[in-house]
Amino acid sequence: MTFSRSETYVFLEPAKDEQFVTLDELKEKIKGWLERWPKDLEMPMDLTKFNNNLEDAVDHLVKFACELELGGGTGSLQWYEVDLE
């Protein structure tokens, strides 16, 4: 049996409705949040090793996580791969 990735995700962000996005759109949305990360808040520990290389940080998050706490009482981003039939 062969498994294939759908590359379709449900993306949730604070104060917005869920969105169905492609893998590229998901990465752009996560990258946008990281680019706007407040200077007074530390990045999560598992992202500090990327030394501000946002593309690598985003790839890491998509591959190994499904949530990013935004800190400062903002909430979190969540994403889940879905299979649309």
Helix-helix angle 54-64:23-35, to 10 degrees: 120
Q: Which is nearest to 29 in space by CA: 12, 41, 45, 43?
A: 12
Specify the pLDDT at position 78: 97
**Per-residue confidence band for 10, with pLDDT thresholds at 50, 70 and 90:** very high
Residue 1, pLDDT > 50, answer: no
Residue 33, pLDDT > 90, answer: yes
Give CATH for domain 1-14+27-74.
3.90.940
Tokens of 43: 């990045």
Widest distance between CA atoms in the chain: 48
Residues 22, 46: Cα–Cα separation, whole Å: 24
